[in-house]
Amino acid sequence: MLKNISFYDFMHRQILVLIALFSTTAFSYVIFGIVYESYFIEILWYLLVLGVSYWGYILYRAYADNEYTIKQKEEWLSKVRYFIFFYFSTWTIMFLVYIARDNLQLHYLAIFTQLGVSVVATTILVSEKKLAVLILISSMFPITIYLIFIGEFYSYVIAILTLVLAWVLLYGSRNTYNYLIKNHAQAYRDYLTKLGNRRHFIDLLEDAIKIQKSSNKYMYLILIDLDHFKTINDALGHDIGDKLLIEVSERMQNLTKEHNGNISRLGGDEFCILSAEFKTKDECIADAEIFAKELLNSIKQTYIIDDHYLYISASLGASIIDKPTLSAATLIKEADIAMYEAKAKGRDSVIMFNNELSIRIERKLSVERLLHFAIENREITLVYQPQLNFKGKVIGCEVLARWSSEQLGFISPDEFIPISEETGIIIELGYFILQEAFKTFKEWHEKGIELEQFSINISMRQIFHTTFIDDVEKLCKEYLSDELRSKIVFEMTETSVAEDVSIIIKKMNRLKKCGIRFSMDDFGTGYSSLSYLSQIPIDELKIDKSFIFELNNSIDSTNMVKTILNIAKNLNLKIVAEGVETELQKEFLIKECCDILQGYYFSKPLTKDMFEEYFGVNSRS
């Protein structure tokens, strides 16, 4: 059977078609009765047809007026099948009545009508193969028996031709049915895994929403995304990738069947599972957690494909169906949000969608959307945090970006910078920051504000961008002299530098030809080795503020700072301590010969004008 929403809608429409066709055609028998002066039986029969027609109309209205679940639609369809069979059978009744009479003209009318009923059955009921065959047999069999009982040669020939016609009708109906099955498979099945596709899953999900609305039962859906599948696909080829997808889908399908669920492939390496029904929400959540763990373990088992031993994990996002007001698209979106949260937290895990996650994601989406217009709307500004030497003299500053959104208010850099890196907006934002910072540095130089260094944070996303070095060279030529370029320091975090050392070294060396220096920011939070530090052309180490904060409170932090200072001295690197907030921290760092100090103890990040005033007061040793 073609079990999908369109099929039920199709059968629903056929009811009116049959009622219109049969009720009007059947009236001709009343006319025949009047002509042949035997209208009493014809009128009774026509009333029977109208009665069955009314039954069909009730079924038609029931489907139109109710949002049935698939189970309810199947129950409705069973009633429709009975209705259709009885509807067609009424014509056989009249056939038997007419052939029992002596008037041959009535025999011809009965035979012609019965043949017409057979054609209608195989045409209209092509999607209901078994029902069409049953009606065809019940319609053609009486004609065949009638012709055989005539006992003449011509009647035998016509009986054989009747059987041939029945076979032709069956053959045509079967071919059409097979064609519909093929089209249905293409429309609702994934060609590779033979699972249901996105369209099929949305139908199931919409049905689940109706179940929740009518019965208050609970279900869950799990969205599965295979981790690093693209790497396998690119490295070993699409043939291996396809075979892997088939094996993964078979494992998940077997496990899903054990839990009485349904699984579909949404596309690529994404799959979605819809659970069975649960009486309570707690039961639903508990089963979702157990099933998700089983699913993760099953997916992680070794795959042997064409002599390749493959290992793969998955990130899962789960959403509970407990609100009938939500659409199928919204539920998939919730699971998708949870799934990406699982990826962000290291993959190979499951995250359950909840309101807190929803609020956080909505906030993130709002920040991402508004960030696109922040520069254009002049909402991004720069502030400058002073850097001082051990004598208290301002010798430099760090450039920091601030965003004051008209709609969201002040947004911390810790929030919008990572989002800008994820979305690629950092390229445009980074260029703006460089341009404005270079302009400011040039203006200060012209005003006599001389700094030994001018630090700007640079993202790895910027450095790897194809135009970054060209953009820096262009801005240097436009705003900075050779002297000023030698004072520019690009700060890169220790963790990000570890991404691809050889490529980064090449890019750093090219930028150093412009006179630019480099600082390793947040040092101590990553995994740098001494050999690694000696390879990259950095000029400065910046101790992470978390270690400075714990000075005098934690022996480990104190020892770490001492170690970093010793490493910097041995490698002939400058050392900057950020996050200095107390006198004790300052005195300790000066005692340990730290070159540059930065933090709220000295000053918060200042606007351009405020920094100029601060510099005027603290520019002398």
Whether 362 is covered by a domain: the verdict is no
The kind and range of the H/E element at 321 are: strand 314-321
Claim to verify: residue 180 and residue 202 sit in the same structural domain: no
Helix H segments across 448-554? 460-463, 468-479, 482-485, 494-497, 501-512, 530-535, 545-549
Query: Percentage of the chain with pLDDT > 70?
Result: 95
Domain co-membership, 468 together with 445: yes
Dihedral (CA of 69, 75, 79, 80) sign: positive
Give dist(CA 211, CA 68) in Å, integer: 8
What digits encode the pLDDT tens for the residues 383-417? 999 999 999 999 999 999 999 999 999 999 999 99
- Are 56 and 137 in the same domain? yes
Most confident of 8-22, 319-333, 431-445: 431-445
Are 234 and 375 in a shared domain? no
**Residue 530's pLDDT is what?**
59
In a shared domain, residues 325 and 394? no
* Count: domains in the chain: 3
Residue 91 lies in domain = 5-188
| Mean pLDDT, rounded, for 37-60 | 89
Alpha-carbon gap, residue 614 to 393, rounded angstroms: 11
Is the pLDDT at 523 greater than 80, yes or no? no
Determine the average pLDDT of the residues in 477-496: 87
- Does one domain contain both 486 and 424? yes
Among 122, 153, 188, where does a domain finish? Answer: 188
| The pLDDT of residue 2 is above 50 | no
Of 496 and 573, the one with more pLDDT: 573
Q: What is the 3-state secondary structure (H, E, C) of 44-111?
A: HHHHHHHHHHHHHHHHHHHHHHCCCCHHHHHHHHHHHHHHHHHHHHHHHHHHHHHHCCCCHHHHHHHH
CATH number, position 336: 3.30.70.270
Structural domain includes residue 442: yes
Interval 536-562 mean pLDDT? 83
Whether the per-residue pLDDT at 125 is higher than 80: the answer is no
Continuous H helices in 189-301: 198-215, 229-236, 238-258, 281-300
> Residue 185's pLDDT band (boundaries 50, 70, 90)?
low
Query: If pLDDT is split at 50, 70 and 90, which confidence band does 496 have?
Result: low
My answer on whether 427 and 490 are in the same domain is yes
118 and 259 share one domain = no
What pLDDT sits at residue 140? 85
**pLDDT tens digit sequence for 257-292:** 999 899 999 988 999 999 988 889 899 999 999 999
Whether the per-residue pLDDT at 181 is higher than 60: the answer is: yes
Residue 538: inside a domain, yes or no? no
Identify the H or E element spanning 369.
Answer: helix 355-374
User: Does residue 150 lie in a domain region?
Assistant: yes
Query: Residues 318-355: pLDDT tens digits?
Result: 998 887 777 888 888 888 888 988 888 888 889 888 88
Domain stop point among 135, 164, 188: 188
pLDDT at 498: 54
For position 5, what pLDDT does the model report?
A: 55
Looking at the structure, do residues 338 and 467 belong to the same domain, yes or no?
no
Average pLDDT rounded to a whole number, residues 53-61: 93
| Res 142: pLDDT | 87
Characterize the bridge pairing of strands 488-493 and 517-523. Answer: parallel
In-domain check, residue 555: no
Backbone φ and ψ for 82, nearest 5 degrees, come out as: -60, -45
Report d(CA 488, CA 569) in Å as an integer: 21
Q: What is the pLDDT of residue 494?
A: 61
Instruction: Share the mean pLDDT of the chain.
Output: 87
| Residue 359 located in a structural domain | no
Report helix angle 229-236 to 238-258, nearest 10.
140
pLDDT given for residue 99 in this prediction:
86
Strand 349-352 to 314-321 pairing: parallel
Compare 234 and 496 and report the one with higher pLDDT.
Answer: 234
Is the confidence at residue 60, as pLDDT, over 60? Answer: yes
- The confidence score (pLDDT) of residue 326 equals 77
The pLDDT value recorded for residue 135 is 82
* Interacting residues of 264 by C-beta distance below 8 A, sequence separation 6+: 190, 195, 196, 197, 198, 200, 201, 204, 271, 272, 273, 274
Residue 182 lies in a domain: yes
Q: Best-predicted range by mean pLDDT among 428-442, 487-501, 553-567, 580-594?
A: 428-442
Does pLDDT of 215 surpass 80? no
For the stretch 126-163, pLDDT in tens is 677 788 888 888 888 888 888 888 888 888 888 898 88
pLDDT of 1 > 50? The answer is no
pLDDT at 525 over 70: no
Of the candidate ranges 95-109, 488-502, 545-559, 591-605, the one whose mean pLDDT is the lowest? 488-502
Same domain, 402 and 324: no
CATH number of the domain where residue 375 is located: 3.20.20.450
Q: Are residues 382 and 404 in the same domain?
A: yes
**Whether residue 10 sits in one domain with residue 48:** yes
152: helix, coil or strand?
Answer: coil
Amino acid at the residue 310: L
Give yes or no for residue 499 having a pLDDT over 60: no
Type of residue found at 333: K
- Please report the pLDDT score of residue 574 as a whole number: 92
Last residue of a domain, one of 306, 326, 353: 353
Highest-confidence segment of 135-149, 215-229, 280-294, 432-446: 432-446
259 within domain boundaries: yes
pLDDT band (50, 70, 90) for residue 559: confident
